[in-house]
Structure 1
Amino acid sequence: MNVYEIGPYWIAAKSADHALGVYVEETHELSDLVIGEPGEGETEEVTISIRQLTRNQVESPSVYCCEDGGCSFCKDEEDAVLISYQDLINKREEREFPCVIAKEE
């Protein structure tokens, strides 16, 4: 399973196409997209940046486990703890993918 960053979302998916599909579902980004009317022979471009995280980024603790504490990762701690994207992937079942595993607030 790969992790893709699209805007403020980190999405676990097998491919960038699947990740983009989840992004569009989550944000309805394309439904609100307004494209100017290009003149004859002109082109209007829209860019969405998709970045695949490296294996090291996926396995390094870099995201908090939850917002309010008390999840399976920090139930014995006072506050939420840093975990890896791989930890977030591991706690889900295969049928739940592709999905958003983290979002920047």
Structure 2
Amino acid sequence: MNVFKIGRYWIAANKPEQAYYEWLDYSSDFENLFDLSEIKEGEEWTEEITIKRLTSKQIDNETVPCCNGENDCDKCDGLNDNVYSTFREIIESKSEEEFPCVIAIEE
């Protein structure tokens, strides 16, 4: 399983196309990305979307709060701080049917 970063979202997917479509479905950024209400007749609009594929080392080492910093899951319940999980741990905790999926959102 690969991890792709698109905008503020880290998405676990096998292929970049799957991550892109998951980003489109999940992201509210898309609604604000293309405001073509002011485009005039004969004008063009070009938009660039960057997709970054993380390395295996990044997947194994980068950590995020297990419940996106909300302190509202079983792992964090009763603790003063969040439990942090690597992207690999998050991926391994999911079933194959749950992919592609957003595994973290940048604040």
Q: Same fold (TM over 0.5)?
A: yes
Query: What CA distance in whole angstroms lies between the structure 2 residues aligned with 1:79 and 1:65?
Result: 11
Name the TM-score, length of structure 2 as normaliser.
0.78
Shift of 1:82: 2.3
State the partner residue of 1:97: 99
Query: What CA distance in whole angstroms lies between the structure 2 residues aligned with 1:59 and 1:86?
Result: 5
What is the identity percentage for the equivalent residue pairs of Structure 1 and Structure 2? 35
Q: Is 1:52 the counterpart of 2:53 in the alignment?
A: yes
State the partner residue of 1:68: 71
Root mean square deviation, CA, Å: 2.5
Figure out how many residues of one structure are paired with residues of the other and give that number.
102
Unaligned stretches of 5+ residues in structure 2:
none
Name the TM-score, length of structure 1 as normaliser.
0.80
State the partner residue of 1:33: 34
Q: Secondary structure at the match of 1:12?
A: strand
Query: What CA distance in whole angstroms lies between the structure 1 residues aligned with 2:10 and 2:80?
Result: 26
Q: Which has the higher helix share?
A: 2
Unaligned stretches of 5+ residues in structure 1:
none
Describe the superposition over 1:55-89 as per-residue Cα deviations: whole angstroms up to 9, x where unpaired. Answer: 000001421122315434x5685421222101010
Against the structure 1 CA distance between its residues 32 and 6, is the aligned structure 2 distance closer, same or farther, given a 3 Å change threshold?
closer
Shift of 1:30: 5.9
**4+ residue runs of structure 1 moved beyond 2 angstroms?**
34-39, 69-72, 74-79
Q: Is 1:3 the counterpart of 2:12 in the alignment?
A: no
Q: Is the 8 A contact 1:61 1:82 kept in 2?
A: no
